[in-house]
Amino acid sequence: MKRIRTIQPLRWGRFVGVQASACFRSLMAVLQRKKQTGCGTTPIATLMLLLLVTPTLSMAGEKPAASIDIDTLRNMRKEAAHRQRRMIFNNDGDDVIYTKKEPTAEALLALRTTPLVGSQVDSIFYSNSLCFGDSLHNSKVMEPFTCTEAMFANNGLPQLMARGIDPIQVMVDFGRKHDVEIFWDMRMNDTHDAMIGGYGPYLRPKFKLDHPEYLVGSRDRHPKCGSWTSIDYAQPEVRDLAYRFFEEVCQKFEIDGVEMDFFRHACFFKSVAQGGRASQEELDMMTGLLRRTRDMTEREGLRRGSPILIAIRVPDSVEYCKGIGLDVEKWLADDLVDILIGTGYFRLNRWEYLVELGHRHEVPVYPCLSESRIRTDTRFKRNSIESYRARAMQAWAAGADGIYVFNYFNPRGPVWRDLGDPEALSKMDKLYFVTMRDGSPDRYLVDGSQHRHLPILNPNNPFPIPAGGPNEVELVVGDDLDGSQQQSRQAKVTCHVQTTGIGDITVTLNDHTLEKPTVVGDWLDFPVPPEWLKKGVNRFGLLARPEQKQAGEEPKWTVEYAGGEMPSLPWRKMGFGGNCIAEVRDGKLFMADRGTDGGNYAYFRYPCSMDPADETIIELRLKPASGWSSVLMENGVSGEEIQFYPDQVKARNCGLAHQMDTTDAFHTYRIVIEEDDFKVYVDGEFRIDGTGQFTRPAHNGRSGISFGAANSPSLGEAYWESVKIYNRARSLSDLVLSIRFGEGG
């Protein structure tokens, strides 16, 4: 179906009104001059004035309730749904909290909005509510967030309200002036208030404090999925209040639409939070809320004479959505949704899945590009403009109707001027990553990961590079560089492969062998002929030839850490919440866990792929001080934790132990694992025989080695002198494809 841009009906009425007013003033001026010169007026002139002005004034005035019928309104809604939206800017509405300067409409707009003029942004979705109950506008249904304590000292809402300025109206006025569509966006279960400390207590709405029975958990009893402050939509009072939030905004402001953001955050029913799946009754409850909201928007649309659209942001899987209580396919089939936006913390399918779903029901689709939260980028940045361009190109190539950007608030950033034009994008430099966001679908649905059909590859989750046969990695490319276009002959394409381990590797692209790599640190840069690259799915094959260790030969350590400095890449921090310490003392690394709350643990992790059939060796020199510290080992199949107490060394899972004084000196502990066996040596002496005991399943198939201090609610502290690891298997930590144009590539 052809996507066209239409003039908004309400704006057309305003346009006509302006023209009518101008014509009226001009004619009145002519008649006044005639009267002043003594020429008088003629019946014909008066008649012309009446004929011209009367119909236009009626068009420009307030529309009567019956000015259009429901069929006309729905046709107008369909046209408005398919207007051009090159880019949608999601402003999460907290700009009002950070005004700093004297709060005025101009100061508010200057933060994130006015600089967008002239960009590719056609729509602004203004997220103006907090944690289900508080608002960042003047509301009589929600509680206006007027806190000016602690980090909210610059909250400008109280002063704006005192001056009669409402942030939503400010946005609506801006949109009318600059022909920018304005939606009011509500996060259907925002749980930023779940933090025990920090800003959490300040954000907790009075509604939640007054009705703890409406929450899926409590401060002391956290649910399996989601956050404890999530509102339970199984409660009729909750659904009714959510409806009234939307109703008030639609009655009070001439917005173009509302967005129901179901991905910030995606927990809606207590039964699901406790580990179940949404029942049909619960699905019907949420569908009922959608239907009631649609009825309201149509009623208000008839009253004002222009449609109010409904957009939704949801996970990109029908089955996953049903699991958490969202019957998205029914909503689309029943015409309850006008705009479909997909993804957030994680992505489950290629963009084609979401596009096909929406277009099958004649609903436009906007892939959501959220900021990457993978914090392991060193050489190539997932949040760079080159990366955003590649992501947008993937979405456009899949048939998207436009690009929706979330959590990117710099209105002067190049994102807003680059991503909305696929033709211009085709000539820009890009960085393609296999994985942009690695959030877990299990966060909101038990076993939610079963619905994910995309690879998760980053330095925190490496892929094994086997010796017996290639491991294949898929990367979707939106560019068309088949050699027939001018830009393809100017493109310089490079495959950047980051690896760990020892030995040579072979890399292929779509059955072509890549050769002559340049070594840059732990990266191999392979030049790629542009014509080898496909628009769509590209398959990279990786095969390793590991270095052999002779019997009795000391290992060539894959990675070594000396305690005289803080661990750095390839080591990654884990935990360090609350009272956790890591600092260098007298040439040793001192690590301590001194807190008992959840999240209080301090570890450094070396993520790597370990072949269960191969030998892996970990050698440590440490001296415990109190409590316990440990090293955790997982090979993707099995795992074990070796704990170091002041009076013993213990295998936590199987219970085997060796009694000794670990605090009298720095001792050398060597742990050898292979298949189902592990062995522990102390100062060269064989002390723990774990033959057949390395069998506890690895957590979520994880692979890697970590060392650190205790875990909640236990405490522990120790001095670490060195950590060495021998891992014969090669690992793929990351794979990046760069496309550069022009001189110098």
337-386 residue pLDDT tens = 999 999 999 999 999 999 999 999 999 999 999 999 998 888 999 999 99
Give the per-residue pLDDT at 209: 96
What is the structure's pLDDT at 729? 81
In what helix (H) or strand (E) does residue 387 lie, and over which residues does it extend? Answer: helix 385-397
| Measured distance CA(642)–CA(656) in Å, rounded | 10
Interval 289-305 mean pLDDT:
98
Global pTM reads 0.85
Q: What would the pLDDT profile of 390-437 be if each residue is shown by its tens digit?
A: 999 999 999 999 999 999 999 999 999 999 999 999 999 999 999 999
Name residues whose C-beta falls within 8 Å of residue 203's C-beta, 6 or more positions apart in sequence: 130, 131, 134, 145, 192, 193
**Do 214 and 358 reside in the same domain of the chain?**
yes
**Do 598 and 533 fall within a single domain?**
no
Domain shared by 171 and 313, yes or no: yes
DSSP state of 440: -
* Amino acid present at 499: T
Q: Over the range 163-202, which residues count as b (16 or more CB within 10 Å of their CB) and which as e?
A: eebbbbbbbbebbbeeebbbbbbbbbbbbbbbeeeeebeb
Asked if residue 373 and residue 491 are part of one domain, the reply reads: no
What is d(CA 7, CA 360) in angstroms, rounded to the nearest whole number?
A: 25
Note if the bond before 158 is cis, omega within 30 degrees: no
- pLDDT, residue 548, reads 67
Tokens of 628: 């316990």
pLDDT per position as a tens digit, 209-224 = 999 999 999 998 999 9
- 521 plus 565 within the same structural domain: no
**Number of neighbouring beta carbons within 10 Å of residue 692:** 11
User: In this structure, is residue 456 part of a structural domain?
Assistant: no
Gap between the Cα atoms of 104 and 107, Å rounded: 5
Q: Comparing C-alpha atoms, which of 406, 476, 409, 524 is closest to residue 115?
A: 409
Do 389 and 316 belong to one domain?
Answer: yes
Residues 16-40, mean pLDDT to the nearest whole number: 38
Q: What is the pLDDT of residue 599?
A: 66
In a domain, 554, yes or no: no
Indicate if the pLDDT at residue 24 is higher than 60.
Answer: no
Per the domain annotation, does 613 fall within a domain? Answer: yes
User: Could you tell me if residue 449 is inside a domain?
Assistant: no
- Cβ atoms of 731 and 463 within 8 Å: the answer is yes
Mean pLDDT of 684-712: 92
SS3 state of residue 567? coil
Query: 610 and 519: one domain?
Result: no
**Residue 484 pLDDT:** 54
Cβ(454)–Cβ(347) below 8 Å:
yes
- Residue 28 has a pLDDT of 40
Q: Is pLDDT above 70 for 78? A: yes
Q: What is the pLDDT of residue 60?
A: 36
**Structure confidence by residue, pLDDT tens digits, 257-272:** 999 999 999 999 999 9
- With a cut of 50, say whether residue 13 has pLDDT above it: no
Spatial distance between the Cα atoms of 581 and 433, rounded to a whole number of angstroms: 34
Q: Among 98-102, 187-191, 227-231, name the one with the lowest average pLDDT.
A: 98-102
The answer to whether 590 touches 563, Cβ cutoff 8 Å, is no
Q: Is the pLDDT of residue 163 over 80?
A: yes
Tally of CB atoms within 10 A around 732: 25
Q: What H or E segment, with its residue span, contains residue 21?
A: helix 9-36
pLDDT surpasses 60 at 551? yes
Q: Mean of the per-residue pLDDT values for the chain?
A: 89
Tell me: do 279 and 392 sit in the same domain: yes
Give the per-residue pLDDT at 30: 36
In this prediction, residue 550 carries a pLDDT of 66
Residue 331 has pLDDT above 70, yes or no: yes
> CA–CA separation, 343 vs 364, rounded Å?
15
CATH number at residue 413: 3.20.20.80
Please report the pLDDT score of residue 577 as a whole number. 72
Domain range holding 41?
9-61
Residue 638, pLDDT > 90, answer yes
Calpha distance 362→42 (Å, rounded): 56
Q: Are residues 323 and 439 in the same domain?
A: yes
Q: Say whether both 432 and 469 belong to one domain.
A: no
Q: Do the domain assignments include residue 84?
A: yes
Say which range, 3-17, 119-133, 500-514, 628-642, has the weakest mean pLDDT. 3-17
| 598 band by pLDDT with thresholds 50, 70 and 90 | low
275 compared with 44, residue with greater pLDDT: 275
Percent above pLDDT 70 for the chain? 88
Do 536 and 595 lie in a common domain?
no
Q: Looking at mean pLDDT, say which of 16-20, 30-34, 699-703, 704-708 comes out highest.
A: 704-708
Mean pLDDT of all residues in 31-48: 40
Please check whether residues 131 and 243 belong to one and the same domain.
yes
Measure Cα distances from 160 to 78, 168, 188, 589 in Å: 36, 11, 25, 52
Number of structural domains (the chain) is 4
Domain end (from 22, 40, 61): 61
CATH code for the domain of 650: 2.60.120.200
**How far is C-alpha 86 from the geometric centre of its chain's CA atoms?**
20
- Could you write out the DSSP letters of every residue in 129-157? EETTTEESS--SSSEE----SGGGTT--H
Per-residue confidence (pLDDT) for residue 483, from 0 to 100: 55
Q: Percent of the chain beyond pLDDT 90?
A: 75
Q: What is the pLDDT of residue 390?
A: 98
The pLDDT assigned to 663 comes to 97
pLDDT reading at 8 higher than 60: no
User: Mean pLDDT throughout 530-535?
Assistant: 94
Q: What is the pLDDT of residue 25?
A: 37
Q: How many residues does the chain have?
A: 745
Q: How far is CA 5 from the centre of its chain?
A: 29
Q: Does residue 108 surpass a pLDDT of 90?
A: yes
C-alpha span between 469 and 703 (Å, rounded):
20
Separation CA 192–CA 201 (nearest Å): 9
**Does residue 453 sit within a domain?**
no
pLDDT band at 464 (very low <50, low <70, confident <90, very high): confident
User: Is there a domain that residue 452 lies in?
Assistant: no
450: in domain: no
Q: In degrees, to the nearest 5, what angle opens at C-alpha 470 toward C-alphas 468 and 471?
A: 115
Q: Are 427 and 692 in contact (CB under 8 A)?
A: no
397: amino acid identity, one letter: A
